[in-house]
Amino acid sequence: EAEVAQSPRYKITEKSQAVAFWCDPISGHATLYWYRQILGQGPELLVQFQDESVVDDSQLPKDRFSAERLKGVDSTLKIQPAELGDSAMYLCASSLSAGSYNSPLHFGNGTRLTVT
Amino acid sequence: RKEVEQDPGPFNVPEGATVAFNCTYSNSASQSFFWYRQDCRKEPKLLMSVYSSGNEDGRFTAQLNRASQYISLLIRDSKLSDSATYLCVVYDNYGQNFVFGPGTRLSVLP
């Protein structure tokens, strides 16, 4: 079964440093999502791409977070500078198209970020 | 009010028990509904989609009540391996994104 690839799996960084995450969705999936999940809570959307275009980044803290999907395939999420409160699991997901029963979300393994 | 709410949990049940989870959603225009399972410190994985007529997959049964805006998941004959957090997910047609509930944790005890 095709998978969403994410790296790194774990990242420890000091506050005020920059950190970047990478995601490669399932081939052919036009829609890509970045979620943040704090322990004990459900994932919360940070940014959604349709191909190379941002569809929704209303919950992305744009003063420190940025995301891009330049060629409409893989994507990077960057945090600069990192803060202690950014410690969380960062999940990338993709879907064939947006939201039908035939295209549910498929998640990558996630990146667990710890900011010290 | 949160868009998607779930039973707070945790649920601790013995092996073989039947357990039901409920989920309510606030957006009446939502069209697609899903249950995901998430093991501790792992990514969510699709358990099943929830169709209007209700659907069953082995020991798992999902039902949708559009009038009352709730979704349920029933697990029969619980196994130790069913221990996980179950996430209710609703697709918001207006915002065109998936909205997650906070999850309900299940522990199946020997």
| Whether A111 contacts chain B with CB within 8 A | no
Mean pLDDT of A96-115: 85
pLDDT score recorded for residue B29: 81
Instruction: Determine whether the interchain pair A107/B44 forms a contact, defined as Cβ–Cβ distance below 8 Å.
Output: yes
Task: Say yes or no to pLDDT of B82 above 90.
Answer: yes
B55 touches chain A (CB under 8 A): no
Which neighbouring-strand residues pair with A106?
Answer: A94
> Tokens at residue A7, please?
């790296």
Q: How far is A48 from chain B (nearest CA, A)?
A: 8
Confidence at residue B73, expressed as pLDDT on a 0 to 100 scale? 97
pLDDT single digits (tens) A18-52: 999 999 999 999 999 999 999 889 999 999 999 99
Check whether A113 has a pLDDT greater than 70: yes
Q: Find all residues with CB under 8 Å of A110, minimum gap 6, and list them.
A: A6, A9, A37, A89, A90, A91, A92, B42, B43
Ranges A3-7, A48-52, A112-116, B53-57: which has the least confidence: B53-57
> Minimal Cα–Cα distance from B30 to chain A, Å?
10
A53-65: pLDDT as tens digits: 999 999 999 999 9
Q: Do A101 and B51 touch (CB under 8 A)?
A: yes
Q: Is the peptide bond before A104 cis (omega within 30 degrees of 0)?
A: no
Between the two ends of chain B, the Cα-to-Cα distance in Å is: 37
Amino acid B30: pLDDT: 83
- Per-residue pLDDT tens for A6-22? 999 999 999 999 999 99
Tokens standing for A49?
Answer: 């791409």
- ω into residue B10 within 30 of 0, thus cis? yes
Note the pLDDT of residue A74. 96
Q: Are A45 and A112 in contact (CB under 8 A)?
A: no
d(CA A60, CA A81): 14
Average pLDDT over residues B38-50: 94
Judged by CB atoms within 8 Å, which residues 30-69 of A form the interface with B? 33, 35, 40-45, 48, 55-56
Q: Which of A37, A38, A55, A95 is the best substitution to test chain B (most B C-beta atoms within 10 A)?
A: A37
Q: Where are the beta strands (DSSP E) in chain A?
A: 5-7, 10-13, 19-24, 31-37, 44-50, 53-56, 65-68, 75-79, 88-95, 106-107, 111-115
Q: Which amino acid is at B97?
A: N
- If you average pLDDT over residues A87-99, what whole number do you get? 88
Report pLDDT for B2.
Answer: 73
Q: Which residue bears the tokens 């501790």?
A: B40
